[in-house]
Chains A and B, each alone.
Chain A
Amino acid sequence: MKKIVTLQQSIMAEDEKFAAAIREENRKRGLLMVNLIGSPGCGKTTLLEKTAELGGFPFAVIEGDLATDRDAERLAGWDIPVVQINTAGGCHLEANIVQKAMESLPLDSVDVLFIENVGNLVCPAEFDLGEDFKAALLSTPEGADKPLKYPYLFASSQVVLLTKTDLLPHLSFDMEMFTEDVKKLNPEAPVLLLDASSGEGYDRWISLLQERIREKRAHGR
C-alpha cells in the first residue's frame, strides 16, 4: 500500500542533534566555539598562530585535514592543545566526529575552541558543528568575486576575514565590489582586513573574540 508521508525536516536533522548537544555542553561550560572556513591555503592556520601570539587567552583547536598532521604540528609548537581529525578525503567536518574529538581536549581550561575546517568554501558551510559562529576567510589572491559565487558561506558567517592584504598592491582585487557583495549577502557581518606579515588588522579580530568570550562566560559557568 502506497502512502504520502509529510516530513518537513532538515536533511541534516541527524547532524543537527549532535550540533545541538555540543552547543548545550559549551553553553554550560561557558566555552566559545568558532568554526573557521575558507579555501585551502587561505590562511586559517596562520590566523590561529597570530591569535596565539596576540590574543592572550588560552584556546584549543580541532584541525580538520584531508590527510596530514602538518597544521596540528605547527600549532603544537605554540603549546596549543590540538586534536587532529583526518577526514581521509572527506570535504568537511561533521558534528558527531567533532563531539568525539572534543573529549580529548582540556576544554575546561580554555576560553575558545577553534575548528579549522577542511579547506573548501562549500561543504563545510553546510554542516552545523554546534559553533557559536562561523568565520568566513577569503585571501586576496582568490579574487573579489568569491562571496557571490559561494553565497551560503558568506551569508551564514558572523564575521568575514579578508586575509593576505599585504598582497593587494600586486593584485587587481576590487575592494569596493568585495565589500558591496558581502554587504548584500550579510549586511551585519563585520569585514576585517588581515595582514599576517605586519600584523595589521588583528587587533579587531582579537577584540571581537574577547567580547564574545566575555558574553559567553557571562551566560555560562
Chain B
Amino acid sequence: MHEVSLVESIVTALEKMMEEEGWTQISEVRLRIGVLRQVNPEILSFAFETVTKGTPLEGARLFVTDVPLEYRCRECGQMWGEEDGLCPACGSPSRETLAGMELEIESLEVEENP
C-alpha cells in the first residue's frame, strides 16, 4: 500500500518537472531508499509499472539502491550501523541517524529535444 503512495508522489513530482524542464521522456529513474523505510522492492516495481501506465513515465526503468543504517553518537562521535540502541563505544542513548531513513530520487535519464 505505501509503495503505491510513494510511486504516486514520484510520478506527480516527475510529471511536473518534465513539463518545467521540457523533457520529452524519462527513460530511467534511480531511487535511494533507507532500510528503515520498509519498502518492498518487488511491490515497488509492480506499483511503478502499474501507476506509470498511461503517464509519460510508462516504460521507464526503475533502479533502487538500498541505504543501510548509519548512526553517530552525539557524545563521543562513534559511528555504527546495526539497529542497536546505545552507542557501542560509550553507551550513550543520544545519537543522530545519518542514513537509513532516505526516500530519495537520486537521478534520472531523460530525453530532450536537441
Contact = CB atoms under 8 A, between A and B. Distances in A.
Contact-residue size bin, chain B (C-beta under 8 Å from the other chain): 35 or more
B107 A122 contact: no
A139 to B, nearest CB: 20
B89 interface: no
A184 B84 contact: yes
Interface in A1-17: 1-15
B107 A123 contact: no
Contacts of B114: 1
Interface residues of A, number: 32
B36 A155 contact: yes
A4 B107 contact: yes
B105 A11 contact: yes
B77 interface: no
B6 A5 contact: no
Nearest to A183: B85
B109 A3 contact: yes
A7 B10 contact: no
A155 B2 CA distance: 17
A91 B5 contact: yes
Contacts, number: 98
A6 B36 CA distance: 24
Contact of B9 (A4, A15, A150): A15
A4 to B, nearest CB: 6
Contacts of A13: 13
Contact of B103 (A1, A2, A10, A14): A10
Interface in B73-114: 83-86, 93-95, 97, 101, 103-114
A158 interface: no
A122 B21 CA distance: 33
Most buried by B among A11, A152, A185: A11
A92 B93 CA distance: 31
Interface in A144-166: 150-152, 155-156
Given A2-B27, A122-B2, A11 B104 contact: yes
B37 A126 contact: yes
B9 A151 contact: no
B70 to A, nearest CB: 13
A7 B38 contact: no
Given A14-B13, A91-B5, A9 B38 contact: no
A188 interface: yes
Interface string A83-97: 000000001100000
B104 A123 contact: no
Given A155-B101, A156-B101, 12 more contacts: A1-B113, A5-B109, A9-B13, A10-B105, A11-B103, A15-B9, A91-B1, A122-B38, A126-B5, A126-B6, A152-B36, A185-B85
21 contacts: A1-B113, A3-B110, A5-B107, A5-B110, A6-B106, A6-B107, A7-B107, A7-B108, A9-B104, A9-B105, A11-B13, A11-B103, A11-B105, A12-B9, A14-B9, A123-B2, A126-B2, A127-B5, A150-B38, A152-B37, A187-B95
